[in-house]
Amino acid sequence: MNRLGLHLRPWSISLLKLHMLTMNSERYLSKVHQMFINNGLMTFSQTNKKNFTIQWNKELDERGYEKLVGMFLEIESENKTPQLLQFDSLVSNWAFNTKRPELAERWLNFRLQKECSRAVKVSLVLDYINSFTGLRPEEIDEQKIINSVREIKTDIMNTDNITFAKVIPPLCMTSGYKSCMELMKEYTKIFTKDVYLLPKNLAYRLPDVVDAAIRKDDFKFAAEIIREHKDIANHFLFKLWKGLLKHSDTLSVDRIFELFSSVDNFNLPHSIEDDLLQILEKDQKQWKVFKNRSIKGKHCENCGEKIEPHVFDGEGIEMIKTNISATLDRHNKDRFSTFLQFLHSLEDINYVVDGMWLNHHFIMKEKKTFHSTMELEDYLHQYLPGRKLIIARNVFFHQNEHIFDDPDVIGFPVNYSDDERKKSASSLDDLFLLYAALQFNQSCYIVTGDYMRDHISKLKENLTELCSRWILSKSIKTFQRVSPNTWELPITAKPFVKTKKGWHISTSDRIHSPRVWCIQECK
Ligand SMILES: [Zn+2]
């Protein structure tokens, strides 16, 4: 139930933009669907044992409309709100598919003649304005959408976020697209103090707003939205990419890259590479693409310019830090406050090292790993040049006291807190490690074999993907296969960097094997 007392209606969402619906079992057909099919308004066909499709019949004449009203009255007599709402959604979906918002308008007027709750009215109006979204923006009467939104504005703030998100696509077809961002912020504020934590269902709609801004040549606004939300969920960034490339007929390659240049830690997905190449071919400027074989050398093999690494400096990173800090403060307050003072006294650190992971590899020699042939202090000296902060349980310090003779090796022991002993908190040593790495974020790598998935999953929803990206780009964990002479720090490449002669575009989402394309104008 949402806050206005409505059940969510999966049909209204899944049907919204589908001309054809594929399902894997007949039992999902609701009574309302059956009714539409039996009355010849929809066609049902079984494609094989498991799959079937439902298709809209295109025409609805006056007799058809009367039939529709009759069907509705029959359902209405049963007095089940979810069924009625499903019925409404199907009608608006039909209007969308046949590109006839006038049908949706007629239906809305018919429905509003009857008494209905505010929640039902919101739903009816949203269904109506969404019937416009099948048209081109120039075909719509935008005032109708803007007025409708105005009418339900107060009530929509009390709906669940799936329902709320339905206001965005129609509003983005109008000159009121800018008000979407204000509405979203206002709505998000009701749920959380952090406006940054836009619910995923809303984040997924941001590309619609960017799209609207680009259609209106409002690049400043488009760039602003991208910049403000660059650290959020991967699927939003992916959708944004797809959306922007669709404008390649009117946008130059430079303009597309400029719009994206604030995205600094999510690389161009592999699946979009071909689209990008096609766009480069079509652009007025003639572009030549050189693909770097690797970025180990840290400089472009083509133009010699430095390849810039991922950047994590936004509000999201601060929020992850705050989150971790709150957990440590709750479950191991004393040790954490000592830790904070200790960090404060440290100069820059190049590696934050998971001591328990080192122990696992260097002390358990019977495992016959690469490390068992090497002494721990040699490893630290040869493989991790620079200052290292080792965080581990006390046992590590008893066993490896000698390694701290080196002034570049610094240690911090983490005791078991009462909460950990009582099992009211899960293992906290990794969180100390992550906190230190966040503190020295710009200068350090994390040395660990752990992906920290447990810890990531406990963060708030929009921070989890950012945190995974951050940990992956910072972690050194595959060095077992690297021979001492060729050892180099892994480097992650920033996705869009303007160079003297063109652009560096990092084209892989597999963080440890990014490929950098050097794209230059042919003169
Ligand atoms: Zn280059």
Residues of the chain with pLDDT > 70, as a percent, come to 86
Q: Over 60: is that where the pLDDT of 478 sits?
A: no
Ligand 1: distance of its center to the CA of 519 in Å? 7
Residue 363 banded pLDDT, cuts 50, 70, 90 = low
Ligand 1: distance of its center to the CA of 250 in Å? 26
Give the CA radius of gyration of the chain.
29
Ligand 1: distance of its center to the CA of 516 in Å? 8
The arithmetic mean of pLDDT across residues 475-496, rounded, is: 61
Cα(178)–Cα(184) distance, integer angstroms = 10
Ligand 1: distance of its center to the CA of 308 in Å? 11
pLDDT at 13: 36
- Mean pLDDT, rounded, of the chain: 84
Ligand 1: distance of its center to the CA of 518 in Å? 4
* Closest to 175 (Cα-Cα) out of 131, 204, 229, 217: 217
Ligand 1: distance of its center to the CA of 504 in Å? 6
Express the helix, strand and coil content of the chain in percent, nearest 5 each: 55, 10, 35
ipTM exceeding the 0.90 mark: yes
> Integer distance in angstroms from the first to the last C-alpha of the chain?
62
Q: How many helices (H) and strands (E) does the chain have?
A: 25, 12
At residue 339, φ and ψ (nearest 5 deg) are -60, -45
Residue 8 banded pLDDT, cuts 50, 70, 90 = very low
Q: Which amino acid is at 73?
A: L
Residue 378 banded pLDDT, cuts 50, 70, 90 = confident
pLDDT at 438: 95
Cα(286)–Cα(268) distance, integer angstroms = 21
At residue 431, φ and ψ (nearest 5 deg) are -70, -35
Cα(423)–Cα(331) distance, integer angstroms = 11
Query: What are 439's two structure tokens?
Result: 């503190």
The arithmetic mean of pLDDT across residues 169-173, rounded, is: 95
Lowest mean pLDDT of 92-106, 111-125, 375-389, name the range.
Answer: 375-389
Cα(435)–Cα(429) distance, integer angstroms = 10
Ligand 1: distance of its center to the CA of 304 in Å? 6
For residues 108 and 465, the model is more confident at 108
Ligand 1: distance of its center to the CA of 444 in Å? 25
Residues less than 5 Å from ion ligand 1, measured at CB: 300, 302-303, 518
Residue 434 banded pLDDT, cuts 50, 70, 90 = very high
Q: Over 90: is that where the pLDDT of 127 sits?
A: yes
Encode pLDDT of 41-86 as tens digits.
Answer: 888 777 776 666 777 776 777 888 898 999 999 999 888 888 898 9
Cα(165)–Cα(159) distance, integer angstroms = 10
Ligand 1: distance of its center to the CA of 156 in Å? 50
Cα(141)–Cα(252) distance, integer angstroms = 30
Ligand 1: distance of its center to the CA of 183 in Å? 42
Cα(390)–Cα(415) distance, integer angstroms = 14
Cα(241)–Cα(96) distance, integer angstroms = 26
Ligand 1: distance of its center to the CA of 246 in Å? 26
Ligand 1: distance of its center to the CA of 279 in Å? 19
Ligand 1: distance of its center to the CA of 482 in Å? 26
Encode pLDDT of 291-343 as tens digits.
Answer: 988 777 688 999 999 988 888 987 889 989 999 999 999 999 999 999 999 99
Q: Over 80: is that where the pLDDT of 191 sits?
A: no
pLDDT at 20: 42
> Strands 52-56 and 42-46, how do they pair?
antiparallel
Ligand 1: distance of its center to the CA of 385 in Å? 28
Ligand 1: distance of its center to the CA of 53 in Å? 50
At residue 2, φ and ψ (nearest 5 deg) are -95, -175
Ligand 1: distance of its center to the CA of 507 in Å? 14
* Closest to 324 (Cα-Cα) out of 416, 437, 177, 479: 437
pLDDT at 26: 54
pLDDT at 373: 62
Ligand 1: distance of its center to the CA of 219 in Å? 27
**Domain locations along the chain:** 1-173, 315-486
Encode pLDDT of 76-113 as tens digits.
Answer: 988 888 889 899 999 998 899 888 899 999 999 999 99
For residues 391 and 240, the model is more confident at 391
Ligand 1: distance of its center to the CA of 511 in Å? 19
Cα(443)–Cα(474) distance, integer angstroms = 10
Ligand 1: distance of its center to the CA of 435 in Å? 35
Ligand 1: distance of its center to the CA of 287 in Å? 13
Lowest mean pLDDT of 360-374, 412-426, 468-482, name the range.
Answer: 360-374
Q: Does domain 315-486 have CATH number 1.10.3720.10?
A: no
